[in-house]
Amino acid sequence: MKKIAVLVSGGGSNLQAIIDAVKAGDLNVTIACVGADNPNAGGLTRAREAGIPTFVTDYRALYNSYAQGAMPPADFSLEEVFEKQGLVKAESSEKVKGFLERRALAEADLLNELSFFDVDLLVLAGFMRVLTPYFIDRFNGGASLPRIMNIHPALLPSFPGTDGYGDTFGYGCKVGGCTVHFVDYGEDSGPIIGQAAFSIGPEDDLATVKRHGLAEEWKLYPECIRLYSEGRLNMGERGGRKVVEVVA
């Protein structure tokens, strides 16, 4: 049976949907642990109530320790992350350096916490931190199938970023949706695993769009994790782009 870890920042309703699917026997995985980037994430309470081990990688506290002189991990290379993210030298300001160094400090802690649970898959469920190549490559470890999944509140590649439903509604879209994808170096740009859509009519406002969207997320995420757990996801290529192929 596959082991997964779930990372949250907030309320964790997607985490709850995954816990419920496992309990109902619809999803055959072990949730080995739930981690958060802050100690107040509501998802931590949901995990504890379900008897799942939890940990916190306190990003804010770690950023403070960086400001007070803590060093990035010894195996962190600024040049390497720059190259992988396609950043050019002109951007190598002190600001960007600080951003990446303190992030690596937090990500090293995250990797350490996760190392105790030996999971197959990392599931981001409302985890509001961007993961850098430092973390992504160490966690993926050269596996042919990526090992980090994310859910995004829009039909990617439209509306990446933090406010997918708001952007969808604000654009006047007549269809909204959500996307589960593997995580790559870009922002919400990794290969798409699954999507669900819903209509937006004249009776809708932002609140109903969010409500419809979340209800779709709660079905879609367990379904995509199930495909992974059944070994039904393969990487393929279309026109030079890496894509996920779902085996029937």
Residue closer to ligand GRF, measured from CB, 41 or 105: 41
Q: Distance between CA atoms of 220 and 218, rounded to whole angstroms?
A: 6
Least distance (Å) between residue 72 CB and ligand GRF: 27
Give the end-to-end CA distance of the chain in Å, rounded to a whole number: 20
Q: In the complex, which residues of this chain contact ligand GRF (CB under 6 A)?
A: 8, 10-14, 125-126, 151-153, 178, 214, 217
Based on CB atoms, which residue is closest to ligand GRF, 70 or 175? 175
CB of 220 to ligand GRF, least distance (A): 10
- Tell me if 247 sits within 8 A of 42, measured CB to CB: no
Give yes or no for a contact between 235 and 144, defined as CB atoms under 8 angstroms apart: yes
Catalytic residue among 152, 181, 210, 212: 152
Q: Give the whole-angstrom CA distance, residue 107 versus residue 98.
A: 14
Please answer whether residues 32 and 60 qualify as being in contact, where contact means their C-beta atoms are separated by less than 8 angstroms: no
- Cβ nearer to ligand GRF, comparing 102 with 212: 212
Q: 196 with 220: CB under 8 angstroms?
A: yes
Separation between Cα atoms, residue 41 and residue 31, nearest integer Å = 17
Q: Do residues 136 and 111 lie in contact, with contact meaning Cβ atoms separated by under 8 Å?
A: no
Q: How far is the CB of 214 from ligand GRF (least distance, A)?
A: 6
Q: Which residue is nearest to ligand GRF (CB)?
A: 126
User: Does the annotation mark 152 as catalytic?
Assistant: yes
> Can you give the length of the chain in residues?
248
Q: How far is the CB of 247 from ligand GRF (least distance, A)?
A: 25
Of the two residues 12 and 146, which places its CB atom closer to ligand GRF in the complex?
Answer: 12
Which residues are annotated as catalytic? 152
